[in-house]
Amino acid sequence: MHACYSEGQDLQEMDKMLYYAVKTLIAKIDLRDNSMQILDKNAGLSDVGIRCLGCSPEAKMLVICYENSNVDLYNGQTIFNVPDIFHKQVSGNKIINKVFCDAQYAYLASGIGIIVIDLKKKVVKDTWFFKNGNQMYEVNDIAIVNDTVYAATDYGIFQSNRNNAFINNFAVWKQITNVNTPNNSLFRQFAVLNNTIYVLKNDTVLPNDEKSVIYQKNNDLWEEADIDISDEASDLTCRFIQASSNRLLIGTNTKMHRYRWNSSIGKLEEEMTYGWSYSENWKRR
């Protein structure tokens, strides 16, 4: 199996194991001794074309999503295939954009809405269709904070209580309108750190010639986060935000920023910056 390791699809850490996914395989790296194991079709993966990963430390399960909507579950020893979404005939785009895991459930943000997988039973538990009239809203990412489910879409942020008996009906979802933004659209990714939720918005109508901005929820208001993201690029674009190991990671055109929460000053503080060198290798700055 020949893989291009420089084009990563996703990265997850669980139980001292780092999972780095490229299109055709996953490199499983033991952080205790830096030993590596390759997970590919020869090792039991059911497909190729990996798109994104998710992990549940509680269920001790890695969720592997493919571009064709096929899903594998890996418990560190055995790979289980969950082909329900791949085989399901539905109108619209079934592609899986992101995975959010909470306890025994994996919530998949997809082109038709949110798909819930029971990681213990290894089956699709439910599908929450985001169909507004005749239009299907693609969900770019999801996050759950205190039983409130947030969905990021190109048409705004929507929320609902996950215990709502009618959550699979889009009519019960409420659009968040108090985001301090030029237009209430084009929200891409969430990150949850210390019970605070952040959302990334990429747009061309942002002030100061910015192409990206990160908002955070303060009580009931969504305001621009006090995060300094400097970049040599003239058109700053955030590629991703992610919370991991009590840190907030932000990737831009040329750098990856790592922040930690400083309780003494009550804000995020930049801890490390990684950038590309001219030899196309990562270097610490």
Asked whether residue 166 carries a pLDDT value surpassing 90, the answer given is yes
Query: Does residue 86 sit in helix, strand or coil?
Result: helix
Report the half-sphere exposure of 29 (CA within 13 A, side-chain side).
10
Asked whether residue 285 carries a pLDDT value surpassing 70, the answer given is no
Query: Does residue 87 sit in helix, strand or coil?
Result: helix
Domain residue ranges in the chain: 187-285
CA distance 47 to 66: 7
**Residue 8 pLDDT level (bands cut at 50, 70, 90):** confident
For residue range 262-284, list pLDDT tens digits in order.
888 878 888 888 775 444 444 44
pTM: 0.89
Of residues 179 and 235, more confidence is placed in 179
Among positive and negative, which fits the CA dihedral 66, 68, 71, 74?
negative
What does the pLDDT read at residue 114? 97
The residue behind tokens 């959550």 is: 167
Report the half-sphere exposure of 202 (CA within 13 A, side-chain side).
15
The DSSP annotation for 171-239 comes to GG-EEE--B-SSSS--EEEEEEETTEEEEEEE-SS-GGG-SEEEEEEETTEEEE-------SSSS----
Select from 166, 242, 205 the least CA-distant residue to 12.
Answer: 242
Query: Does residue 15 sit in helix, strand or coil?
Result: coil
What does the pLDDT read at residue 40? 93
Select from 147, 128, 262, 268 the least CA-distant residue to 198.
Answer: 268
Q: Give the residue-averaged pLDDT of 170-177.
A: 95
Of residues 170 and 195, more confidence is placed in 170
CA distance 204 to 227: 20
CA distance 115 to 161: 15
Using alpha carbons, list the distances in angstroms from residue 162 to 86, 120, 168: 25, 19, 10
Q: Are 52 and 98 in contact (CB under 8 A)?
A: yes
Using alpha carbons, list the distances in angstroms from residue 53 to 59, 66, 102: 15, 9, 14
**Residue 21 pLDDT level (bands cut at 50, 70, 90):** very high
The residue behind tokens 């890695």 is: 62
What does the pLDDT read at residue 137? 95
Of residues 203 and 49, more confidence is placed in 49
Q: Where are the alpha helices (DSSP H) in 22-103?
A: 84-87
For residue range 70-113, list pLDDT tens digits in order.
999 999 999 999 999 999 888 778 999 999 999 999 999 999 99
Query: Does residue 43 sit in helix, strand or coil?
Result: helix
Q: Is 266 left (phi over 0), alpha (psi -120 to 50) or beta?
A: left
